Amino acid sequence: MEVPKQIDYRDLFIEFLTSFKDDRGKIKYIEKKNEMIAYRKKSIIIEFIDLLSFNENLADQIINNTKSILPILESALYDYLLQLDPTYEKEVDRLHVRIVNIPKVSQLRKI
R_g of the chain, CA atoms, integer Å: 15
What span, in angstroms and rounded, lies between the C-alpha atoms of 108 and 110?
A: 5
Q: Is 54 exposed, middle or buried (0-12, 13-18, 19+ CB in 10 A)?
A: middle
* Cβ(73)–Cβ(22) below 8 Å: no
Q: Give the confidence band of 64 by pLDDT, cuts at 50, 70, 90.
A: very high
What span, in angstroms and rounded, lies between the C-alpha atoms of 24 and 55?
A: 19
Residue 92 is classified by DSSP as: -
Q: Give the confidence band of 111 by pLDDT, cuts at 50, 70, 90.
A: very low
Look at residue 86 and tell me whether its pLDDT is greater than 50.
yes
Q: Give the confidence band of 104 by pLDDT, cuts at 50, 70, 90.
A: confident
